Structure 1
């Protein structure tokens, strides 16, 4: 595993070029699965697991790794299949999602492949509503399924999704009654979470599943003769998406003279200083790590006040 992780550490500069690297792994069959290398902190042989009272059945136990305690989830169980046997001979992929670390138990780890987001596609429409795929691709003629980890985490360890009292200013929706928020995300769970916050504020939403679809939507607004600035409060956009990632989408918007001033918040489970630097590089207005409803609501609240010309500061601070 050392060789695999050396590659992980050396290859993080593809972001911003509409490229990614997938760490390929297998579960209980010959089917190949993939996870974005940028989410991976470490890959190791499954360590001893300690039972966790009252745990979700997907969590096989907790492991003490580098001074911390990390829950280890059986990826095969998480997608509705049998638990992986003989876990002593399995591997654990340690990841960071939504500012927390977690481990996923897998049968084997294969290799890392360099991909273009244009070669990553949404799941087939016949996959059904309960599938756990966020995208699919092909490597050497073999189908690779990319699992919707956010869906798994939302089911195993549900996060608070309601906005706290007092965060949203009274009457905020009345200030932008003719406008809506464009939400761009390939994860069904993430889209619903964002939509619930924004529509809970009384503001309408439009949903798109990837950057290419969202960019076409904006171009269609222009083609219809409408003013996108009059239509949209802001755009809340994921980074990791099939067809076109959030960085590329943002760069495309900024390069279009009729769209370049739209307010874009990149909202992603990818976190860290590197991503904040990329936000500045591609020209996004803000970066927000998923998923914190109060912080998201504040971003929307402040944006509404900004476009209606109202101060974001208390009177005594002006």
Structure 2
């Protein structure tokens, strides 16, 4: 059994720790920050008419949690092995258990080592967020959020909740967004545009976003004359959102820029990581209406 709190990793170093696991012949990884614990399989109670990825439910310390079969989710025919493990996760304010064939080890890597998956990949391309080479082997970072959305589309960003936000003139505000998921970039563009924002610059990782912001450092004007707010995900290749926030807040010419972390990793156990690097607000995906409310708080204070 592994408990997330036993793993120490300084905040803002642009590093992450990956739990390596195997399904079929492939090696996959999941960010330790998503993992609550790893346990031996427990009796699973089937649920009638459940999604085909869902085996059923288990009870763990008084909580009833869904069990998702990762082999089914990635189209692998091999169902169960004697070495099966259950990975108990928490993200997007949900707890979900994933059954995998075996868990092997934990690796500490830099986000700079993680490559964006190529569009040429076949089969798993929509379920892979990154690829990292460790000890001569490729480890695929599986998109657990995408699997959950496939099971329950209601867990995705819901634009209709924006109707409850206060009507404001947001058209003059200049926003920078760092988000590696093309799907999330599209959804954020649609929802923020619907909320009235007209000037939004998107970047697919923190490194590109930081280089863009640095372009305003040498001018006579302040950063607020060019950018009003930065929104960033945490998990991104090249530079993660925590390191991006730290770099911005440590740059005198940029430190006044308000930053919101918009991530599936905003939980009670992990919120302190954003606070340590000086972020102004943190919002859990998929609460887009809360994101707009926090943006208003910072933009119209």
Could you state the TM-score of these two structures normalised by the residue count of structure 2?
0.89
2:229 equivalent in structure 1: 234
How much has 1:296 moved relative to structure 2?
1.2
User: Whole-Å Cα distance in 2 between the matches of residues 89 and 267 of structure 1?
Assistant: 36
1:173 to 160, 170, 173: 170
Note the alpha carbon deviations across 1:25-55, whole angstroms, 9 max, x for none: 01111x2110011211121222222221221
User: Whole-Å Cα distance in 1 between the matches of residues 249 and 21 of structure 2?
Assistant: 37
How much has 1:255 moved relative to structure 2?
2.0
Instruction: Say whether the 8 Å CA contact 1:172–1:201 is kept in structure 2.
Output: no
Instruction: Say whether the 8 Å CA contact 2:28–2:139 is kept in structure 1.
Output: yes
User: Whole-Å Cα distance in 2 between the matches of residues 145 and 223 of structure 1?
Assistant: 40
1:46 lines up with 2:41 in the alignment? yes
Gap runs ≥5 in structure 2:
none
1:263 lines up with 2:258 in the alignment? yes
- Decide whether aligned partners of structure 1 residues 193 and 76 sit closer, same or farther in structure 2, where only a CA change above 3 A counts: farther
Note the alpha carbon deviations across 1:37-96, whole angstroms, 9 max, x for none: 1211121222222221221111121112221111111223223x1354236652211100
Instruction: Say whether the 8 Å CA contact 2:119–2:125 is kept in structure 1.
Output: no
How much has 1:163 moved relative to structure 2?
4.1
2:89 to 95, 103, 114: 95
- Decide whether aligned partners of structure 1 residues 277 and 127 sit closer, same or farther in structure 2, where only a CA change above 3 A counts: same
- Residues 132-211 of structure 1 mapped to structure 2, 5 A cutoff: 132-158=127-153, 159=155, 161-164=158-161, 166-174=163-171, 176=172, 179-204=173-198, 205-211=200-206
2:208 equivalent in structure 1: 213
How much has 1:188 moved relative to structure 2?
3.1
- Residues 70-81 of structure 1 mapped to structure 2, 5 A cutoff: 70-79=65-74, 81=75
Instruction: Say whether the 8 Å CA contact 1:51–1:61 is kept in structure 2.
Output: yes
User: Whole-Å Cα distance in 1 between the matches of residues 126 and 29 of structure 2?
Assistant: 15
How much has 1:101 moved relative to structure 2?
0.4
2:6 equivalent in structure 1: 10
How much has 1:215 moved relative to structure 2?
0.6
1:20 lines up with 2:43 in the alignment? no
- Residues 111-126 of structure 1 mapped to structure 2, 5 A cutoff: 111-126=105-120
User: Whole-Å Cα distance in 2 between the matches of residues 147 and 290 of structure 1?
Assistant: 17
How much has 1:145 moved relative to structure 2?
0.6
Note the alpha carbon deviations across 1:197-251, whole angstroms, 9 max, x for none: 2122121322111111111121235578886423333111111222111111111
User: Whole-Å Cα distance in 1 between the matches of residues 224 and 120 of structure 2?
Assistant: 36
Higher helix share: 1
Instruction: Say whether the 8 Å CA contact 1:163–1:297 is kept in structure 2.
Output: no
User: Whole-Å Cα distance in 2 between the matches of residues 20 and 296 of structure 1?
Assistant: 25
User: Whole-Å Cα distance in 2 between the matches of residues 85 and 279 of structure 1?
Assistant: 39
User: Whole-Å Cα distance in 2 between the matches of residues 166 and 243 of structure 1?
Assistant: 35
Gap runs ≥5 in structure 1:
307-318
